[in-house]
Each structure stands twice: as structure tokens, then as C-alpha cells.
Structure 1
Amino acid sequence: MKEHDMEITLTTTKKEKPKSDQLEFGKVFTDHMFIMDYTEGSGWHDPRIVPYQSITLEPSAMIFHYGQSVFEGMKAYYTDDKDMVLFRPEKNFQRLNKSNDRLCIPEVDIDFALAALKKLIVIDKEWIPDAEGTSLYIRPFIISTEPYLGVSPSSRYKFIIIMSPVGSYYKEGIHPVKIAVEKEFVRAVVGGTGTAKTGGNYASSLKAQKVSEENGYSQVLWLDGVEKKYIEEVGSMNVFFKIDGEVVTPALNGSILDGVTRSSIIEMLEHWNIPVSQRKISMEEVYQAHQEGKLEEAFGTGTAAVISPIGEFFWNDEKLILNEGKTGELSTKLYNTITRIQTGKEEDQLGWITHVEEKVTQE
């Protein structure tokens, strides 16, 4: 399938765009969306960009009953010279296909998906906010649509991309959050769907999140689903600890999501020659490091926030305060460096930036 196979229908009524200082995450969507269908025997077909609109499915569509779905999250940015860029989008589409494989959903062609996304961004480029800290959030997702009440892979799917202008995740700068270590519920187990970005993982996390918020904590720290001993993720983010000069993050073990920001943080630390390791790390080890004064920082990583510093853990009825509850030096440096690369304020030495439109060099 080639880019010229894509049908484009432009809206006749453009929506009013929100002001940059009034943006909320995932509340307002751009004028257009991308859709492509899959039918068993025909493969992916009928790629099109159409006005943003509702989709109609039969009540028996398998997505409603068996949860066969995957999604991704990425962002487009304006640089200071009005160049539209994406941050490592090929990594997101590669992970989308890994999720597809786990959920028995047909893979998409990464080159075509990226070309379609670029076309959609160009059409809706007026929606990319240019104020400090703002961006265009992009949500590609695939749902099963076959009308059939049977537990088996669907024979029909829709691949859709929608986009939403979003403000800065941190309105007044990055601030540490309080985290409760989860002891009752589990996020995922090895052999489950923890490595896939699928809706069911997030639905199953809501109860723990609700309880932690009621107790005054922003998120939960997930432990492994078998021994409830080893750290896995924090909320819906990957997690890092700086212990006695070394940065440690849980190794990908079959239940932890391979975050794009996670891999970027690891590459950046290696680029800076800061010791970083991917291994098992228990909550007991973190506790002991705190008791010995060696736990210097902890932070979550993800597309929305990039870096979310952790100022406190609540574990076994004890509060572990990190860095006097302040944002650490490394957390700040990582956040500033990656966001500056994303917006073109700092040189992209690691080849992370993809240009939406190729620049034409004047001879």
C-alpha cells in the first residue's frame, strides 16, 4: 500500500481552536482523523483521512465483549523555527505491532502508518500549539469490529489515529509526587499482557489508583504479581531509581511495558556516561538504600510527563521521603534535555527527531 492510495476528505466546517493557556489533556480533538480497515482475506484496506467524527459499530462488535484492542501515544511539536517534528515515532509503531502480536491483531505497515500520520499532521498543522510546553498529542489505536459473540480473534478491525492539542503537563514546573506502594492489587504477570499497550491493562489498574488517591497519593508503585516483592512500574509509567550514583530501572521481564521514554532515558544516561543498569530491584532494596542515605532520586517516565519526580513512597505504614521532597538534579536535567531536543532548542545528537515535512535546501 502506498501513500497515494489514501483518500482524503477535508472538513467543510473547521472547529474553534482552544487557546494555548486553556488546553486540557485529551479533551479537544483536531478537525480530521485517519481510518483504515482490515478484513480477513483482504488485509488492511481503504486508508482515508476524514473529518473527525463518531464511528458506528454493531452492539455485537467484539471490542465491546472481549477487549481486543491496542493503542499508542506520541506527540508532535513545533520547533522555534516552525518546523513540525515527531519524537521517535518509529519506536511507537514498532511497539504497536508488538502489542498487535500479543493481542492476535494483524500488524500494520510501519512505513505506511508513519506516512499517513505525517499527512494527517500536515492537514491539521494549525492545531499544533506553539506556546512553551505545549504539543499535539497523537493517539493511534486498533479495535476489533467483527459482530460476533465468540471468544476468538476478530476477522475485522479498524486502525484509527486521532489527535489532541495539549498543554504543559506541569503548569508551574515539575514537582515531586507522593506514591503508595501497592500490596493488594497487581498490574500484570509474566505471560500476561503487561508488555502490550492494551486497554485492559489500564482498566484493571483503576481500582488501585482510586484507593491511593482517596488516601492522598498521586499514584501506586506496582510490585510483581507473583511474589509482590520486585518493583515493576509506577502508575502507567516506567520507573527509575538513583542509588549511590547509579541509576537502576526494572529489567524488561515479560510483564513490564517497553516505554519509548524509558529507552530514551537509558540511552541519554549512557551518552552522559552515567552508570545505568536494568535489573530486578526489590522494594526492600529501595528501603535499605533510603535508610542508608543512598537513595538519591526516583522518577517515573512516559510520553505525557516525560519525567515525573517522586518525592515520597508510602510502604509498610512508613513514609520514605526522597531528596527532602524536592525534584532531583538528574530528574531536572533529563526533563530539560529531552524536552529541549523535542522542540529543537537543543541538538539532537542521538537521532531521535523525525521531521514531518522534509526541509528543502536552497542551492
Structure 2
Amino acid sequence: MQFSTTSTTRPTPSEQREEALRVPRIGKVFTDHMVTIEWTREDGWHDASVRPREPFSIDPASAVLHYAQEIFEGMKAYAQPDGTVALFRPEENARRFNASATRMTMPSIPEALFIEAVEQLLRVDSAWVPSGQGASLYLRPFMFATESFLGVRPANCFTFCVIASPAGAYFKGGAKPIAVWVSEHYTRAARGGTGAAKCGGNYAAGLIAQAEALRHDCDQVAFLDAAEGRWIEELGGMNVFFVVDGVLVTPSLGTILPGITRDSIIRIAQRRGLDVEERPYSFDEWRADAASGRLTEAFACGTAAVIASIGKVRFGDGEFHIPVGPLTDALRDELVGIQRGVVADEFNWTWRVR
């Protein structure tokens, strides 16, 4: 597919862009352009364009506003030591995007077209890729229903778009351990639901629990399963790992998002010779293992935050603390090193943009 390109006539002044790159704040400042591709049931994918970033004009009856047919991805571009730019496992983002699309009754996009759209934006906005310590360019591919109608059925028209924002540390205070609030009243997903899809509705449903976490001076919320209210599932926007008796434990997939960072950590850990268990892990176990000393580390992981140690866990009638251990730091250093091109990529995960 050929992309048409229209450059902005009002680029961000260089001094303003450099200031944004000096202290990047994810989702606060955006690059000058975006990529859009249209889909209709009659014509399939068409009208691929790189154009100035600007507001969309949609009809008040657009299906996304009434029936929430929308999905998104989160991925990053990293400046490399040789001056090039690399993506990290973009084909996995494309596959997960299509898995989300299937669950939400939306059209799949060819993986090559998904990646090409991301690369097109990176080429035109390459000056926006920060090179500072811990900085990257966060990329947000998303798709939403644009057909104008009122009626409960899948839409026939969609827009795919990619935007980008310079990113620094996800949590305030950088790499310090985070505090987590365990929600005992709200759940994120249930069996047969959309928990494994990256759709906005999942996050909207969790905002009330995240607000509860903030009121208790916590950075993130941890959700329990909807069926029994016993099993740790994932955090508000991240997967979670526990180090118990030297074994790396993480909740099983099914009702949680299959994180690309999660999968990368599992594979790095296994190559290091560590035992990894994907299994149910209850909140009661978490508390008991922390009290007995069997739990030596816990951390959250995701594209935005990469890996963040969990140092404190709060819940309705108490709290407990978790030490910061060496495995979390080692896994973070290796993963970030691969992403930034300073550690050998034995998995062939990095994708150079040309």
C-alpha cells in the first residue's frame, strides 16, 4: 500500500521540541504528524496517509461513541548507539492488535501494514526520538469505529491511526519502588470477557479502582479475579511477577492482557536458567509469603514502565512491605539494554527502522 505524505505547515519550533525531549513526559506532548488508514467493508484498507497531527472530525452518531468499538497498542522506539532507531518486537504488537480486533469484532490489519504505518511516522518525526537516559518515543497505534448509526451491531467503517509522544519515567520518582493498592471491591475482567483484549473499556472500568489506589497513596491498583476474589490477576495497566523461593511466578493468561514485556521477561529468565511458573497466585499467598520471607521480590511490568519494583502493598485493613532484590534489577538491566542496543540481542527482538 502506498502512503501519501503531507508535511505540517506548522512544525513545533526546534527549541520547544528540544525542551520536550530534555524532560519527556509521556502523553503530555506529541509529535507533529500522525498516520491514518481507513477501512470499510466494501473497500477494505485504503487511503493510507502521513499527515499533520490534528483533531478528528466525527459524526455524533459514530459507533465508537455509543458502542465503544476501539482498541489500541503501546510500543516504543529507542535511539541506538550508532544513531539509528529501533523498535522492540513490533510484530508482537501487530499480532496482539489483531487478537484484540478479533475479540471486538473489528477488522484485522496486515502485520506488515501495521509495522509500516509505525515506521512511516518514525521516519517523518525522527527528530522527536529522545536519546536521554531512560527516554524513548512512545507510539500509540489505535483503531476506532467511525460508521454513523445507532444499533447494536459491529460497525462497517473504521479508522486506524498512529500517534507518538516522547516518554521518560512512567512513575513519579523514577526507579524507586512503587506502592500497590489491592482492590477488594472492583474487578477488571471475567472469564469470557475482554480482559485479554487491549480495549479502552477495560481501562475505563478500572479507573474507579485506580482512583481508590491514589486516595490510599498508592501508585497502582492490583485486581483480584472476578469469580472468587482470591487470585491476583494484574495491575491497572501492567502485569505482575513474584519471586517465591527463587522461582519467578506470574499469573496465568486467560483473563489478563498477554503483555509483550511479560513474555520477554519470561524468556530472559528462562535463558538465565531460572524456574518460571505461570499459575494462579492468591492474595492470601502473597501476604503469607511476604510475612514468612519466602517472597523476596515482586515487580510490575509493561511497555510504559518496563519493570518497576513493588515495595509496599496496601489493602483494606493493613499493609505489608517487600524488599527490593537483585533479580528485578538484573532483569530490568538486560531488557532495557537489549532495547537500547547496549546488550547483545540474542533473541532478535530489535527492529531497525530505515
Q: TM-score with structure 1 length normalisation?
A: 0.94
Deviation by residue 1:42-78 (Cα, 9 ceiling, x = unmatched) = 1111111111111100001011111000000000011
Per the alignment, residue 24 of structure 1 pairs with: 25
Tell me which residue corresponds to 1:279: 279
Identity of aligned residues (%): 40
Cα distance between partner residues in 2 of 1:305 and 1:173: 9
Match runs of 1:150-165 below 5 Å? 150-165=151-166
Aligned to 1:318: 318
Please name the residue that 2:256 is paired with.
256
Residues 289-313 of structure 1: CA deviation (Å, up to 9, x unaligned): 1222101011111001100110111
Matched, 1:343 2:344: no
Mean alpha-carbon deviation: is it higher for 58-67 or for 9-18?
9-18
185-194 or 330-339, larger mean C-alpha shift: 330-339
> Is the contact between residue 132 and residue 168 of structure 1 (CA under 8 Å) also seen in structure 2?
no
Q: Distance in 2 between matches of 1:127 and 1:14?
A: 12
Decide whether the 8 Å contact of 2:87 with 2:353 is kept in 1: yes
Superimposed CA distance per residue, residues 89-136 of structure 1 (whole angstroms, 9 cap, x where no aligned partner): 110110000000000000001111212211221111011111111111
The residue number in structure 2 matching 1:293 is 293
172 and 320 in structure 1: CA distance in 2 versus 1, 3 angstrom threshold: closer
Return the alpha-carbon distance in structure 1 between the equivalents of residues 279 and 4 of structure 2: 47
Secondary structure of residue in 1 paired with 2:277:
strand
CA distance in 2, matches of 1:167, 1:230: 32
Residue type of the alignment partner of 1:13: R
> Are residues 170 and 344 of structure 1, via their aligned partners in 2, closer, same or farther at CA, if it must alter by over 3 Å?
farther
Q: Is 1:330 aligned to 2:330, yes or no?
A: no
Q: Find the counterpart in structure 1 of residue 69 from structure 2.
A: 68
Contact 1:194 1:257 in 2 (8 A): yes
Structure 2 equivalent of residue 355 of structure 1: 352
After superposition, what is the alpha-carbon deviation per residue over 1:227-250, rounded to whole angstroms, capped at 9, x for unaligned? 000110022100000001001000
Alpha-carbon distance in structure 2 between the residues aligned to 1:173 and 1:211? 22
Contact map agreement 1:31 1:52 (CA 8 A) in 2: yes
Name the aligned partner's letter for residue 282 of structure 2.
S
Say which is worse superposed, 240-249 or 307-316, in terms of deviation.
307-316
What does residue 135 of structure 1 align with? Answer: 136
1:171, 1:280 → 2: CA distance? Answer: 30
Question: Shift of the alpha carbon at 1:342?
Answer: 0.8
Q: Deviations over 1:222-280 (max 9, x none)?
A: 10011000110022100000001001000102x11000000000000001011111011
TM-score, normalised with respect to structure 2: 0.96
What residue is the counterpart of 2:87 in the other structure? 86
Amino acid in structure 1 at the alignment position of 2:7: L
Distance verdict in 2 for CA 1:81–1:172, change over 3 Å:
farther
- Which stretches in structure 2 are left out of the alignment for 5+ residues? none
Separation in 1 of the partners of 2:174 and 2:107?
A: 41
Amino acid of the structure 2 residue aligned with 1:264: S
For residues 273 and 316 of structure 2, what CA distance do their matches in structure 1 show? 35
- Separation in 2, partners of 1:170, 1:230: 25
User: How far off its partner does 1:22 sit?
Assistant: 2.6
- The superposition leaves residues 6-32 of structure 1 with CA deviations (integer Å, 9 ceiling, x where unpaired) of 111112221131423332111111111
Structure 2 equivalent of residue 35 of structure 1:
36
Which residue is equivalent to 1:360? none
Q: Which deviates more from structure 2 when the two are superposed, residues 25-34 or residues 62-71?
A: 25-34
Give the deviation of 1:318 after TM superposition: 2.4
Matched, 1:9 2:6: yes
Cα deviation per residue 1:124-181 (whole Å; 9 max; x = unaligned)? 1011111111111100000000110111100100000001112233676511111121
C-alpha distance in 1, partners of 2:291/2:140?
A: 42
Inter-CA distance 84–189: structure 2 relative to 1 (3 Å threshold): same
| CA contact 1:21–1:167 (8 Å) conserved in 2 | no
- 1:270 matched to 2:267? The reply is no
For the 8 Å contact 1:238–1:300, the answer to whether it is kept is yes
Q: Could you tell me which residue of structure 2 aligns to residue 46 of structure 1?
A: 47
Alignment length (residue pairs): 350
CA contact (8 A) 2:203 2:236 kept: no
Q: Is the 2:23–2:168 Cα contact (8 Å) retained in structure 1?
A: yes
